[in-house]
Chains A and B, each alone.
Chain A
Amino acid sequence: MVALIFLFLVILSAILAPLLTPYPEQGAGVPNITEKLNAPNRQHPFGTDNLGRDLWARILFGARTSLMIGFTVTVLGAFIGTVLGAMAGYFGGWIDEIIMRITDVFLAFPPLLLAIIMAAVLGPSITNTIIAITVVWWPWYTRIIRGQAISVRERNYIKAAIVIGVNDRTIIKRHLLPNIMTPVLVQATLDLGSAILVAASLSFIGLGTQPPAADWGVLVSEGRELLLSGRWWLSVYPGLAIFLTVTALNLMGDGVRDAADPKTRGGK
């Protein structure tokens, strides 16, 4: 419950970012050299960075990017994975073979490594980050959905639909998918947090969002070099933002899973 409220606030702040800070242009990247590297004070409660930009503003704008990447990646990955997994599970045979072999290839790579390689190959940018992470993400969903599809396709209501003469596409759409989506929804909610983390990691090593745009990974990275010189606020606050958001997403994911499971829900 707390997690939900927190998340709601985070999303709200991301959307309303320019209105929540007196320094919107600094959030977007415009430097303000005169106030370079100020510790947190009354005008800049989170301090300023090495180009004098207000850190709170930067974090707000960074939220926009981080969240957007996280959502897009998760939605895209879940979508592709569901379509492929449903087809593999329902049709079986050579369709299943082909799809699963491709999936296996992608699953064999350590995810972060693959994302890094893709990002490096494609060139660092927000779009390419999304592509890189999605490529890593979808195989997990394919696996989950395929397993569900295989068990559900033997159910009598699917057989009944076949005997009535409903075509395969409609069966998948109306009968199969609605009954196998729940684990996907749960997984996706849990994944949001991970997606944000991976995106932040890519940005941290310079392969994601490029300055002067910001996402939380970039902010942490920018602060890293100055950490030892005592400017702790530059890494700590963005890091906290990542930590709290991801934790909240995980808690929410647990909640979704408990709510979706009829046994813990307690009766029909």
Chain B
Amino acid sequence: MTAMSTPIIDIKGLNVDYVVHGGLFSRKGQTIRVINGIDLQIFAGEILGIVGESGCGKSTLAYGITRLVEPTSGEVIFQGTDILKFKKSELRRIRRNIQLVFQDPFSSLNPRMKIFELVAEPLRTHSEMNTSEMERQVEELLKKVGVSSEFMNRYPHQLSGGQAQRVILARALSLNPSVIILDEPTSALDVSVQAQIINLLIQLQQEYNLSYMFISHDLTLLQHIATRIGVIYLGEIVELSSSEALFEAPQHPYTQALLSATPLPDPDTKRQRIVLDGNVPSPANPPAGCRFHVRCPHVMDICRTQPPGVYQTHTGWAKCHLLE
């Protein structure tokens, strides 16, 4: 990863706010900053892992990048232009290039549409193919992801979880995107099925020259598949590093805690357990200073008042006063 290479997607200062409407007696709503000033790059051919727990905003990050949710401010630069500035009509063009795969395969497939229709939809939307061309394309795509063409006339509920997720990948691939954002794509699947889907994802990446942003709560999975990993806590990236470095020498206390809490399938390896106090604070009321300070085992006075800056580590960076 050279310092000079241009990222495929360059995210700068991304902020996403949700407005929660007040109750019966208040007219104004409360603004909750779910994503707070995130800078992130996705480079060509890499798998960028994003790990975080519930409420950290990882899904919102994916929605913000693809404008399913409109970010409040910031830039998402793709092929030289900021896609946040596009009008809805221009956005359609870009959609071919950045696809999004959701966690639960069944909820992403319209239960009343046949598999053929579902996979053909992107083709229908963006090209002028006739039906027989589309049939050929769909059949080929399904073959690429390992689903037999006999499923073209079936409905989603007739498929297994693994097959459904494969169909979704076929759909994502149909437009030949450059980037696919995957939001917990295997969390709803059994371990043995997960293995198949992961293998498939890697194979497709190499074949189609794709870049992935792979969001997961499972660090062990990311260790297997990701090039670099970003750790997200309460709407901010607190550490970003190459995959190996993150596991060998995690810099941020939250990363360390996350790593130590992840159970390993080996009864003899007992990680040095760092058990964090308390729960993730609500994004509506984030702690002052460093957002992690209320749970940090190494908290110092400065952490309570001053948000930490970005400190370079040798394969990435982390936001922590301890690194000063």
Contact indicator A179/B68 (Cβ below 8 Å) = no
- The number of chain A residues with a CB under 8 A from chain B is 18
Q: Choose among A157, A165, A170, A174 the residue that contacts B95 (Cβ–Cβ < 8 A).
A: A165
Check if A101 is an interface residue, CB within 8 A of chain B.
no
Check if B2 is an interface residue, CB within 8 A of chain A.
no
Check if A263 is an interface residue, CB within 8 A of chain B.
no
Contact indicator A165/B110 (Cβ below 8 Å) = no
Question: Which residues on the B side are within 8 Å of A179 (C-beta)?
Answer: 110-112
| CB contact under 8 A between A157 and B175, given known A164-B95, A165-B92, A166-B121 | no
Question: Which residues on the A side are within 8 Å of B126 (C-beta)?
Answer: 165
Q: With the chains together, A146 CA to B302 CA distance in Å?
A: 51
Contact indicator A165/B122 (Cβ below 8 Å) = yes
Contact indicator B157/A157 (Cβ below 8 Å) = no
Question: Which residues on the B side are within 8 Å of A167 (C-beta)?
Answer: 92, 125
A140-178 Cβ-contact flags toward B at 8 Å (1 or 0)? 000000000000000111011111111100100011001
Q: In angstroms, how far is the closest chain A Cβ from the Cβ of B274? A: 35
Question: Which residues on the B side are within 8 Å of A178 (C-beta)?
Answer: 110, 112
Q: With the chains together, A268 CA to B95 CA distance in Å?
A: 35
Question: Which residues on the A side are within 8 Å of B178 (C-beta)?
Answer: none
Question: Which residues on the B side are within 8 Å of A166 (C-beta)?
Answer: 121, 125
Which residue on chain A has the smallest CB distance to residue B181? A163
Q: Choose among A164, A170, A175, A268 the residue that contacts B122 (Cβ–Cβ < 8 A).
A: A164
Surface stretch bound by A, among B99-107, B129-137, B199-207, B224-232: B99-107
| CB contact under 8 A between A163 and B66, given known A157-B108, A175-B110 | yes
Contact indicator B66/A164 (Cβ below 8 Å) = no
Contact indicator B110/A268 (Cβ below 8 Å) = no
Check if B96 is an interface residue, CB within 8 A of chain A.
yes
Check if B171 is an interface residue, CB within 8 A of chain A.
yes
Question: Which residues on the B side are within 8 Å of A174 (C-beta)?
Answer: 110, 113
| CB contact under 8 A between A156 and B102, given known A163-B68, A179-B110, A179-B112 | yes
Q: Choose among B91, B92, B93, B110 the residue that contacts A157 (Cβ–Cβ < 8 A).
A: B110
The secondary-structure label for the interface of chain A is helix
Q: With the chains together, A178 CA to B100 CA distance in Å?
A: 23
Which residue on chain A has the smallest CB distance to residue B122? A164
Contact indicator B175/A156 (Cβ below 8 Å) = no
Question: Which residues on the A side are within 8 Å of B121 (C-beta)?
Answer: 161, 164, 166
Contact indicator B68/A155 (Cβ below 8 Å) = no
Q: With the chains together, A87 CA to B102 CA distance in Å?
A: 26
Q: In angstroms, how far is the closest chain B Cβ from the Cβ of A64? A: 36
Q: With the chains together, A179 CA to B112 CA distance in Å?
A: 7
Question: Which residues on the A side are within 8 Å of B93 (C-beta)?
Answer: 165
Check if B290 is an interface residue, CB within 8 A of chain A.
no
Contact indicator A165/B125 (Cβ below 8 Å) = yes
Max chain B C-beta neighbours (<10 A), residue from A156, A160, A175: A160
Q: With the chains together, A157 CA to B98 CA distance in Å?
A: 17
Q: Choose among A159, A165, A175, A268 the residue that contacts B157 (Cβ–Cβ < 8 A).
A: A268
Question: Which residues on the A side are within 8 Å of B108 (C-beta)?
Answer: 156-157, 159-160
Which residue on chain A has the smallest CB distance to residue B157? A268
Question: Which residues on the A side are within 8 Å of B91 (C-beta)?
Answer: 165
Question: Which residues on the A side are within 8 Å of B169 (C-beta)?
Answer: none
Which residue on chain B has the smallest CB distance to residue A177? B112
Question: Which residues on the B side are within 8 Å of A164 (C-beta)?
Answer: 95, 99, 121-122, 125, 171, 175
Contact indicator B109/A157 (Cβ below 8 Å) = yes
Q: In angstroms, how far is the closest chain B Cβ from the Cβ of A155? A: 6
Q: With the chains together, A178 CA to B157 CA distance in Å?
A: 16
Q: Choose among A157, A160, A170, A268 the residue that contacts B100 (Cβ–Cβ < 8 A).
A: A160
- Residues 51-107 of B contacting A (Cβ, < 8 Å): 63, 66, 68, 91-93, 95-96, 98-100, 102, 104, 107
Q: With the chains together, A161 CA to B108 CA distance in Å?
A: 9
Q: In angstroms, how far is the closest chain B Cβ from the Cβ of A185? A: 14
Max chain B C-beta neighbours (<10 A), residue from A157, A166, A170: A157
Question: Which residues on the B side are within 8 Å of A165 (C-beta)?
Answer: 91-93, 95-96, 122, 125-126
- Give the interface of B toward A (CB within 8 A): 63, 66, 68, 91-93, 95-96, 98-100, 102, 104, 107-113, 121-122, 125-126, 157, 168, 171, 175
Given contacts A157-B111, A163-B68, A179-B111, 6 further A-B contacts (CB under 8 A): A156-B108, A157-B109, A159-B100, A160-B168, A162-B68, A178-B112
7 A-B pairs in the complex with CB atoms less than 8 angstroms apart: A157-B108, A160-B109, A161-B110, A163-B100, A165-B92, A167-B92, A167-B125
Closest 7 CB pairs of A and B: A165-B95, A156-B107, A156-B108, A157-B110, A165-B92, A163-B100, A178-B112
